[in-house]
Structure 1
Amino acid sequence: MPLTDLPLDQLRAYRPEVRRPADLDAFWADTIAEARAAGAGTAPVTTPAETPVTALDVQDLTFPGFGGDPVRAWVSRPAGTADQDLPVVVEFLGYGGGRGLPGERVSWALAGFVHVVMDTRGQGSGWGSGGDTPDPHGSVPHVGGWMASGVDAPANHYYRRVFTDAVRLVEAVRTLPGVDVDRIALTGGSQGGGITLAAAALVEAHVGPLVAVLPDVAFLCDWEHGTAVAVGGPYLELATHLSVHRDDVDRVWDTVAYFDGVHFAERISAPALFSVALMDDVVPPRTTFAAYNALGSADREIAVYPYNGHEGGGFRHWERQVAFLRDRL
């Protein structure tokens, strides 16, 4: 597999101009306030999950997300630690996947953390073991997938709902027993990495500080340039949409600017560990570097995997994430 983007020295210096909405912060402040109001009468609920896994205590969490809609998550922790306030890792998932089965994702909890996996609304049938959260909101006609869903206006875009769900999840997690609210980290790969960046910036602005941010081969950054150079993956949905809607180019890019990880990265102050793979044909490396190079964090690292594709560093990188997080707890 060949290198898919610029040489590494150029990637480290890559700082593109990304469309910047003048009302970005107000847009998100209003969105989060509306979601809080819509879910004000609904408390998060946990019930024991049915799973053959016995080394972990797994709970099924339902919490009010965007519009007060019920969103699902798994909460896992080492068995026998209910009386301890443990650090938390909240994880967001890659494109098309759902939260899967209880006990399916065990690594973070086995490493001693409370592990929370958010279901991504409307997804869960592309890979893995399925999801349990519908997206009840409609959209204008668009190419299959979610990149162009609601692309007619920022208020309608799919990722407005998903990013809001992520913030509301962190708020819900802070109310759960047995969690250390001062030691919450966010992570995710690909789409989950992009959600991590958005959630981190919005949580720091509207909820409270985070102990670390761990986006892995992060998608949803530098959307316009990513669509121009990607050779596979969901960015091509936008290219296909624009090949049909030829007169909508500026409207599309003006809309998705509200969801660009570069803008969120600028607003993050928590310690951050990124990863990037230089043979990634789904997330062009320049898009990850665009967010990393804009990052507001003083304490930051990026792991570069020169000969990997979209799988990135795999379990080796997870080990690095654990070490990075433990150093900052």
Structure 2
Amino acid sequence: MPMLDMPIEELHKYKGTNPCPKDFDRYWEEALKELDSIDPMVEFILSDFKAPYADCFDMYFIGVRGARIHAKCLKPKNSSQKHPALIMFHGYRGDSGDWMDKLPYVAMGFTVVAMDCRGQGGLSEDTGNVKGPTYGGHIIRGLQGEPEDLLFRNIFLDTAQIARIVMDMEGVDSKRVGVTGYSQGGALTIACAALEPRINKIAPVYPFLSDYKRVWQMDLAKDAYEELNYYFRFFDPLHKKEDEVFNKLGYIDVKNLAKFIKSEVLFTATLLDNICPPSTQFAIYNNVISKKQLRIYNDFGHENLPETNDAIFKFMSEL
């Protein structure tokens, strides 16, 4: 078997290297209290994209710290019964994608919502208000301030907020909501289900934002994780604050959030992934304690995975 990382036997046992802060649970309890205080002021604006069996909207809501968040929302036309919903999250620096690729789920009777991450390639805002410099990266944005300043904290809260909004939509059965995404989208899928435990099914694919110290130790702080390298080179070249940095990143490490998940999980991992290393993926999966199944692509990296979209579609169709 090709091997980039640990032997497969070790991967199945590995739960992570990056520390989990001692007050991790309290941190997220307090974050969710902040989210509870927000009036999302949800707006639906009819899109000029048309489909014969879908009503398509640009959806906006207000997230924590006042950011206006955008999502594409597609609802099945003339649906008279409660129906399932699917939430989609995109890859790092990307956006919610085309309308067209959501339509197969709408044709199956799903409401589909795809969120633009704040400050990335879509229409959602990044309102800033963090202390200290960054090198254009969201992982390190806010790292020199308090843990509450970390930008991904707010993005993770956006995922929980959009889940709440979807569950409250007219016609949606709140007990039949699924979430999926690749890479960063996989990480946000984990965060969403951890922070909104009513989610029924999730299907993350080679998730990002996991086990930062392991990435660093493997000398893979490049590509998607390159800002970790730039942070130390520019702001801590002697690594005097290395322990503090990795401990603080532990607040936004999805392997640490995985224990909160109650959803059924279909997890897809790749063993030749030099973007999101296999051990960082398995660290998430091995910390999930809910019902779960693992699909492993031995010969693939961070790339298109044949049959994966079909497997996710079949899994979500059970809703």
| TM-score where L is the length of structure 1 | 0.89
Q: Which residue of 2 aligns with 1:109?
A: 106
1:242 is aligned with what amino acid? F
Worse-superposed segment, 157-166 or 229-238:
229-238
1:170 aligns with 2:163: yes
Please tell me whether the aligned partners of residues 88 and 114 of structure 1 are also in contact (alpha carbons under 8 angstroms).
yes
Q: Which residue of 1 aligns with 2:34?
A: 34
Please tell me whether the aligned partners of residues 64 and 168 of structure 1 are also in contact (alpha carbons under 8 angstroms).
no
Shift of residue 43 of structure 1?
2.7
Shift of residue 273 of structure 1?
0.7
1:258 is aligned with what amino acid? Y
Counterpart-to-counterpart distance in 2, 1:13 and 1:32: 31
Please give the per-residue CA displacement for 1:117-176, whole angstroms capped at 9, x wherever unaligned: 01100000xxxxxx1112011332122221111112311111011001111111111221
Counterpart-to-counterpart distance in 2, 1:104 and 1:15: 34
Secondary structure of 2:93's counterpart equals coil
Equivalences for 1:143-162 in 2 at 5 Å?
143-152=135-144, 153-162=146-155
Counterpart-to-counterpart distance in 2, 1:88 and 1:146: 28
1:134 aligns with 2:125: yes
Q: Which residue of 2 aligns with 1:78?
A: 76
Please give the per-residue CA displacement for 1:74-129, whole angstroms capped at 9, x wherever unaligned: 11133332x232111111111011124544543432343211101100000xxxxx
Shift of residue 259 of structure 1?
1.0
Counterpart-to-counterpart distance in 2, 1:29 and 1:14: 27
| TM-score where L is the length of structure 2 | 0.91
Worse-superposed segment, 221-230 or 160-169:
221-230
Q: For the structure 1 residues 310 and 34, does the alpha-carbon distance in structure 2 shift closer, same or farther, using more than 3 Å as the test?
A: same
1:90 aligns with 2:122: no
Secondary structure of 1:234's counterpart equals helix
1:322 is aligned with what amino acid? F
Counterpart-to-counterpart distance in 2, 1:321 and 1:101: 18
Worse-superposed segment, 288-297 or 96-105:
96-105
1:151 is aligned with what amino acid? L
Please give the per-residue CA displacement for 1:264-291, whole angstroms capped at 9, x wherever unaligned: 1112121101111112111001000011
Please give the per-residue CA displacement for 1:27-62, whole angstroms capped at 9, x wherever unaligned: 11211222332x23x431212111143342212111
1:310 is aligned with what amino acid? H
Please tell me whether the aligned partners of residues 108 and 115 of structure 1 are also in contact (alpha carbons under 8 angstroms).
yes
Counterpart selection for 1:221 from 207, 210, 225: 210
Counterpart-to-counterpart distance in 1, 2:109 and 2:271: 32
Q: For the structure 1 residues 150 and 267, does the alpha-carbon distance in structure 2 shift closer, same or farther, using more than 3 Å as the test?
A: same
Secondary structure of 1:177's counterpart equals coil
1:212 is aligned with what amino acid? K
Worse-superposed segment, 48-57 or 155-164:
48-57
Please give the per-residue CA displacement for 1:263-319, whole angstroms capped at 9, x wherever unaligned: 11112121101111112111001000011011111x2111111121112525x1121
Q: Which residue of 2 aligns with 1:321?
A: 312
Equivalences for 1:175-186 in 2 at 5 Å?
175-186=168-179
Counterpart-to-counterpart distance in 1, 2:101 and 2:259: 34
Q: Which residue of 2 aligns with 1:273?
A: 266
2:58 is aligned with what amino acid? D
Please tell me whether the aligned partners of residues 227 and 236 of structure 1 are also in contact (alpha carbons under 8 angstroms).
no
2:119 is aligned with what amino acid? G
1:62 is aligned with what amino acid? Y
Q: Which residue of 1 aligns with 2:233?
A: 243
Worse-superposed segment, 230-239 or 92-101:
230-239
- Identity level (%): 29
Q: Which residue of 2 aligns with 1:127?
A: none
Q: Which residue of 2 aligns with 1:189?
A: 182
Shift of residue 201 of structure 1?
0.9
Counterpart selection for 1:66 from 49, 64, 67: 64
Please tell me whether the aligned partners of residues 189 and 215 of structure 1 are also in contact (alpha carbons under 8 angstroms).
yes
Please tell me whether the aligned partners of residues 221 and 229 of structure 2 are also in contact (alpha carbons under 8 angstroms).
no
Please tell me whether the aligned partners of residues 71 and 133 of structure 1 are also in contact (alpha carbons under 8 angstroms).
yes
2:312 is aligned with what amino acid? Q
Please tell me whether the aligned partners of residues 266 and 295 of structure 1 are also in contact (alpha carbons under 8 angstroms).
yes
Which ranges in structure 1 are unaligned for 5 or more consecutive residues? 125-130
